[in-house]
């Protein structure tokens, strides 16, 4: 970049590769780091390196785990129901579902969803690992909790086909109205989906 | 609804601009490149949520400014007023500033603005509507659908997403980087969403066809009166849709069209895998126009074609304002330079009968005769005159 000394230009370049960071934001971040104490820069640098060097993937569920901790804490926890596997796209989704306290089974992290535009097919996500794990037996239900968008649905359909021969039940998380929401403010698609996914009133 | 005030801030070439359109005809005059079209574009973007010519929203923002703002003050004959405001961030604007449209200060989806105000844009390129590529005619149909029905706008967006994914997968299969078994999901999506778009277009063509003869005769010079204009919709389903009606009419139930797409998609499987592109779907369709039983693109004179195009734009105006919808604001982007004074005058009269018309022109001599005394705003070097003059 013209008029900038090399280290500054390089840092701007690196920052602007990050998702959601444009050139101006990258410049702002760079000048912030210039003004910040050296400790802060070192702290950031070592955190960045650590995230690559100290994070590993669980050989069972493919979720991220501390290096040397395999299987991960979720898979090693015997109190968790091993007969159910909840399949999600990203590690953050595991935290979201687990926070609810409603689900106490195991997880499987795909690290993405099928999206031909982005060159992501079944081989680019951790689908094969999931099928092998389910085919090994002992699983009663696989819950497909990929995102309710086109790519998430494509992934769910693909996995459902592959998993069906190996497990008694493959389920898909429900779609519909948000809790505490107002019917009249819901968009058409959400309303249609919630009508399609209606259930008999449980009188018990 | 009619526009009482247009306010721009850092939009394209304008640092700021304010225009007070007349209830009927308003002219914006100035040399080419002065920024006349930018004014019409601003109205169009505020109403439809997207530009007809910008590749990205950021292009709409004046150089090195954080965002552009467009405000429309509207009122209807009953005295109801509304204010539509659009905010478009520049490329590097912090993420806190997002693109948004508000109506009377409340955030709205772009697709909901059609409840408040609608707009018809007549671009000079549309003079080639009948001889140009089918994509131009699909764009003509889809622009009407998207403004009229929220559901159609969503279906069109979803269709283009499905097609992009499906084509990427077909190409990957051709390169042997993927296997064909992943196609079934996208086939089904294409059949379902494609059937919805096809149904919407079939209904639209039926409505256009019903209106065209009268509008054609209203615009046509004496020697073209009574010529038979016939509109039909050309789909890609071939024999996979045996129930297809002979003449344009209301669309059949969606499951009939979905089934037809499923059949046709499986028929062309080999060809699609070889070509690496989706060969069946609404993205390959066309609006066919015939004059006295012959293809207009090849058999009609330039004058006859222009008459039909004007009739189509009038039909668009009527359809957008039908069913208690707000009467559209008509934006004519330098189209009179392409028309003889006869057709210009008749079509302008017909549009003014319907509502408000904003016209840009580089050469005031193309202003149809009998329009003296209209209000003219001058544009030059990215600035709009402070007040209009009457010519």
Instruction: Convert the pLDDT of each residue in A134-173 to its tens digit.
Output: 999 999 999 999 999 999 999 999 999 999 999 999 999 9
Query: Phi and psi (nearest 5°) for A56?
Result: -125, 175
Could you tell me if residue A123 is inside a domain? yes
- Which CATH number goes with the domain that contains A133? 3.40.1360.10
| C-beta separation of B50 from B110 below 8 A | yes
Structural domain of residue A16, as residue ranges?
A: 6-53
Tell me which of B204 and B125 has the higher pLDDT: B204
Cα torsion angle, B55, B57, B61, B65, sign? negative
Is A150 within 8 Å of B169 when comparing Cβ atoms? no
Nearest to A23 among B92, B95, B109 (CB): B92
Host H or E run for residue B165:
helix B150-174
pLDDT for B364 equals 83
Is B182 within 8 Å of A119 when comparing Cβ atoms? no
Contacts of B314 (CB under 8 A, 6+ apart): B211, B215, B218, B219, B347, B350, B351, B354
Q: Thinking of the domain B134-298, which architecture would CATH place it in?
A: Up-down Bundle (1.20)
d(CA A41, CA B160): 45
User: How high is the ipTM of this complex?
Assistant: 0.72
Could you tell me if residue A38 is inside a domain? yes
CA A103, A106, A111 angle in degrees (round to 5)?
Answer: 105
Could you tell me if residue A105 is inside a domain? yes
Could you tell me if residue A58 is inside a domain? no
B77 touches chain A (CB under 8 A): no
The CATH number assigned to the domain with range B2-118+326-390 reads 3.40.50.300
| C-beta separation of A63 from A57 below 8 A | yes
Break chain B into its structural domains and give their ranges: 2-118+326-390, 134-298
B164 touches chain A (CB under 8 A): yes
Q: Are residues A113 and A197 in the same domain?
A: no
B-chain residues within 8 Å CB-CB of A148?
Answer: none
Is A116 within 8 Å of B161 when comparing Cβ atoms? no
Is B169 within 8 Å of A25 when comparing Cβ atoms? no
Is B165 within 8 Å of A122 when comparing Cβ atoms? no
Could you tell me if residue A66 is inside a domain? no
Q: What is the pLDDT of residues B77-112, one digit of tens each?
A: 888 899 999 999 998 777 778 899 999 999 888 888
Q: Which of residues 121-150 of B touch A (CB under 8 A)?
A: 150
B-chain residues within 8 Å CB-CB of A187?
Answer: 109
CB pairs below 8 Å between A and B: how many? 53
Q: Are residues A105 and A184 in the same domain?
A: no
Of the candidates B263, B271, B258, B255, the residue with the CA atom closest to the CA atom of residue B238: B263
Q: Are residues A84 and A130 in the same domain?
A: yes
Is B158 within 8 Å of A150 when comparing Cβ atoms? yes
CA B372, B343, B52 angle in degrees (round to 5)?
Answer: 90
Residue B189, classified by CB atoms within 10 Å of its CB into exposed (0-12), middle (13-18) or buried (19+), is buried
- Which CATH number goes with the domain that contains A26? 1.10.8.420
pLDDT for B312 equals 97
Host H or E run for residue B260:
helix B254-267
d(CA A166, CA B212): 60
Is A121 within 8 Å of B182 when comparing Cβ atoms? yes
Chain centre distance of CA B272: 30
Is B158 within 8 Å of A158 when comparing Cβ atoms? no
| C-beta separation of B17 from B72 below 8 A | no
Q: Are residues A83 and A167 in the same domain?
A: yes
Report the DSSP pairing between strands A141-144 and A81-88: parallel
DSSP category for residue B80: -
Give the closest-approach CA distance of B252 to chain A in angstroms: 21
In chain B, the N- to C-terminal Cα span, in Å, equals: 26
pLDDT for B363 equals 83
A-chain residues within 8 Å CB-CB of B175?
Answer: none
What number of H helices and E strands is found in chain B? 9, 16
Could you tell me if residue A140 is inside a domain? yes
Could you tell me if residue A181 is inside a domain? yes
d(CA B15, CA B79): 31
Contacts of B160 (CB under 8 A, 6+ apart): B283
Q: What is the pLDDT of residues B206-234, one digit of tens each?
A: 999 999 999 999 999 888 888 899 999 99
Give the closest-approach CA distance of A81 to chain B in angstroms: 31
pLDDT for B55 equals 84
Interface of A with B (CB under 8 A): 20, 22-25, 114-117, 119, 121-122, 150-151, 153-154, 157-158, 187-189
Q: Which two tokens stand for residue B18?
A: 């304010």
Mutate to test the interface with A, among B58, B65, B92, B112 (most CBs of A within 10 A): B92
pLDDT for A187 equals 79
B177 touches chain A (CB under 8 A): yes
B352 touches chain A (CB under 8 A): no
Nearest to B165 among A20, A117, A158 (CB): A117
Could you tell me if residue A63 is inside a domain? no
pLDDT for A73 equals 93
pLDDT at A26 over 80: yes
Mutate to test the interface with A, among B182, B184, B272, B278 (most CBs of A within 10 A): B182
pLDDT for A94 equals 96
In chain B, pLDDT over 90 holds for what percent of residues?
67
Q: Are residues A48 and A88 in the same domain?
A: no
Q: Which two tokens stand for residue B132?
A: 């140009």
Domain count, chain A: 3
| C-beta separation of B257 from B195 below 8 A | yes
Q: Which two tokens stand for residue B264?
A: 């046709």
CA B199, B248, B227 angle in degrees (round to 5)?
Answer: 140
Nearest to A188 among B151, B165, B182 (CB): B151
Q: What is the pLDDT of residues A30-85, one digit of tens each?
A: 999 999 999 999 999 999 999 989 999 999 999 999 988 989 999 999 999 999 99
B369: left (phi over 0), alpha (psi -120 to 50) or beta: beta
CA distances from B330 to A135, B58, B233, B281, B304 (A): 63, 25, 26, 31, 22
pLDDT for A2 equals 61
A-chain residues within 8 Å CB-CB of B91?
Answer: 22
């Amino acid at each position: 970049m013209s008029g900038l000394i090399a280290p500054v230009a390089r840092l701007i370049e690196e920052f602007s590769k990050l998702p959601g960071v444009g050139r101006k934001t990258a410049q702002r971040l760079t000048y912030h780091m210039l003004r910040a104490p050296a400790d802060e820069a070192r702290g950031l640098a070592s955190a960045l390196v650590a995230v690559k060097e100290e994070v590993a993937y669980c050989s069972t569920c493919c979720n991220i785990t501390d290096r040397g901790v395999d299987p991960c804490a979720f898979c090693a926890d015997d109190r968790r129901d091993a007969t159910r596997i909840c399949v999600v796209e990203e590690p953050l989704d595991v935290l979201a579902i687990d926070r609810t306290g409603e689900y106490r089974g195991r997880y499987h992290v795909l690290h993405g969803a099928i999206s031909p535009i982005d060159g992501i097919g079944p081989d680019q996500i951790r689908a094969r690992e999931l099928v092998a794990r389910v085919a090994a037996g002992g699983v009663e239900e696989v819950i497909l909790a990929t995102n309710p968008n086109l790519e998430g649905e494509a992934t769910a359909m693909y996995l459902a086909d592959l998993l069906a021969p190996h497990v008694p039940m493959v389920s898909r998380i429900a779609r519909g109205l948000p809790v505490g929401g107002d019917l009249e403010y819901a968009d058409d698609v959400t309303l249609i989906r919630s009508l399609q996914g209606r259930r008999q009133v449980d009188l018990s | 609804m009619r526009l009482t005030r247009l306010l721009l801030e850092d939009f394209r070439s304008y640092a700021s601009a304010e225009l007070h359109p007349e209830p009927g005809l308003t002219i914006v005059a100035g040399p080419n490149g002065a920024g006349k079209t930018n004014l019409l574009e601003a109205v169009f973007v505020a109403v439809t949520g997207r530009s007809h010519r910008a590749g990205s929203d950021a292009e709409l923002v004046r150089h090195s400014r954080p965002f552009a703002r467009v405000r429309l003050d509207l009122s209807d004959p009953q005295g109801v007023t509304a204010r539509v405001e659009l905010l478009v961030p520049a490329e590097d604007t912090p993420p806190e500033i997002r693109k948004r449209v508000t109506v009377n200060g409340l955030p709205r989806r772009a697709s909901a603005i059609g409840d408040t105000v609608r707009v018809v844009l007549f671009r000079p390129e549309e003079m080639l509507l009948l001889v140009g590529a089918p994509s131009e005619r699909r764009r003509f149909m889809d622009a009407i659908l998207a403004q009229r029905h929220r559901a159609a706008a969503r279906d069109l967006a979803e269709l283009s997403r499905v097609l992009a994914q499906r084509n990427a997968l077909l190409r990957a299969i051709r390169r042997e980087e993927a296997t064909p078994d992943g196609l079934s999901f996208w086939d089904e999506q294409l059949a379902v969403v494609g059937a919805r778009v096809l149904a919407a277009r079939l209904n639209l063509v039926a409505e256009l066809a019903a209106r065209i003869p009268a509008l054609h005769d209203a615009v046509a010079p004496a020697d073209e009166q009574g010529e038979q204009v016939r509109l039909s919709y050309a789909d890609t389903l071939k024999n996979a849709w045996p129930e297809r009606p002979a003449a344009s009419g209301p669309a059949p139930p969606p499951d009939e069209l979905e089934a037809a797409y499923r059949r046709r998609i499986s028929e062309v499987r080999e060809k699609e895998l070889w070509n690496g592109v989706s060969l069946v779907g609404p993205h390959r369709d066309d609006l066919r126009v015939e004059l006295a039983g012959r293809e207009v693109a090849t058999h009609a004179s330039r004058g006859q074609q222009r008459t039909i195009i004007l009739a189509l734009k009038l039909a668009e105006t009527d359809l957008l304002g039908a069913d208690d919808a707000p009467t559209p604001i008509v934006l004519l982007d330098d189209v009179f330079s392409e028309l003889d004074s006869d057709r210009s005058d008749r079509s302008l009269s017909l549009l003014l009968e319907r509502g408000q018309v904003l016209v840009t022109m580089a050469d005031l001599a193309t202003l149809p005769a009998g329009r003296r005394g209209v209000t003219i705003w001058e544009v030059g070097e990215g600035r709009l005159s402070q007040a209009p003059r009457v010519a």
